[in-house]
Structure 1
Amino acid sequence: MYDDILVPTDGSPAATAAIEHAVDLAKTYDATIHALYVVDASAFSSIEAGSELVIDALEEEGQRAVEEVTDAAAEVGVDVETNVVSGTAYRRILDHIDSENVDLVVMGTHGRSGVERFLLGSVTERVVRTADVPVLTIRHQDEEEQAAEAE
């Protein structure tokens, strides 16, 4: 059913939750996982001095994030292809879907709402609305939400 599963990651707890689901699905369907980290340098374009240092740090963070996917997949024998790219996150995710013939996207969501979501935007929401393939979203719950649910 699925041959290629894309896991966009930013190294966050929400992304980690998505990785677990993606690895499980990839194992079930004998699929390859595509781990993708997007360095969005546009936020730092106005910084003249030191912008290369910031971009280098983000690329290193990206390598760690995709290595987390590789490590999780290796534990169960799932193949992984990794990429760290620059650009606008949702656009690069959509480009990767097309270029790699991805069948499914599994990505975390931070569960933001209201003004916070409006101000920050939502990469996941844009991918869900515009992708031509199914997108499985995994909502990350913080400790307060988990405690409230347990009551």
Structure 2
Amino acid sequence: MYDVILVPTDGSEAALDAAKHAYGLGERYDATVHVLAVVEQSESASIVGQGTEKLETLRENGTEATKKIVEEALSRDVDAVGAVEIGNPYRVILEYATDNDVDVIVMSTHGRSGVSRFLRGSVTERVIRGGDIPVLAVQR
């Protein structure tokens, strides 16, 4: 049913919770888990005047976040790969999923509502509405 599973991560505990569901699917279907961290475009835009240090820090944070999930997947005998991209998170997630023939996206949702959701938006909601790939949204 699933050959390729995508887990977007921001390094949060909620993302680690979602990854646990991806491990289970990976084990059950002998699928490869792709772990993706996205450095937000708005953050990288502010880097222009600050040199490459901030960009490197953000990439390192993304690399560490993906590495943690990839290592856990591998310890469970689930094939896994990690990637770090720069851009608008929901757009990058959908493009990555399309480019890598992802069968399902497993991602966290913080369950925000009201003003917080209106102001910050929901990457998970945008991924669900913007793509045609099934999304398993794990609420923390």
For residues 58-114 of structure 1, the C-alpha deviation after alignment (integer angstroms, 9 at most, x for no partner) is: 100000110111111012111112110101000000001110000000000111111
Asked if 2 retains the 8 angstrom alpha-carbon contact of 1:14 and 1:109, the reply is yes
Q: Which has the larger radius of gyration?
A: 1
Native 8 Å contact 2:44 2:86 kept in 1: no
- Map 1:1-151; keep pairs closer than 5 Å: 1-46=1-46, 48-140=48-140
Q: Aligned with 2:52: secondary structure?
A: helix
Structure 1 residue 54: Cα displacement: 1.8
- The answer on whether the counterparts of 1:70 and 1:80 sit within 8 Å (CA) in structure 2 is yes
Where structure 1 has 5 or more consecutive residues not aligned to the other structure, the ranges are: 141-151
| Moved beyond 3 Å, runs of 4+ | 46-49
TM-score, normalised to structure 1, is 0.88
Judging changes above 3 Å, is the alpha-carbon distance between structure 1 residues 14 and 44 closer, same or farther for their aligned structure 2 residues?
same
After TM superposition, the score normalised by the length of structure 2 is: 0.94
Structure 2 counterpart SS, 1:78: coil
Amino acid at match of 1:21: H
Structure 2 vs 1, CA of residues 47 and 74 (structure 1 numbering), >3 Å: closer, same or farther? closer
Which structure 2 residue ranges, 5 or more long, are not aligned? none
| Aligned-CA RMSD value | 1.3
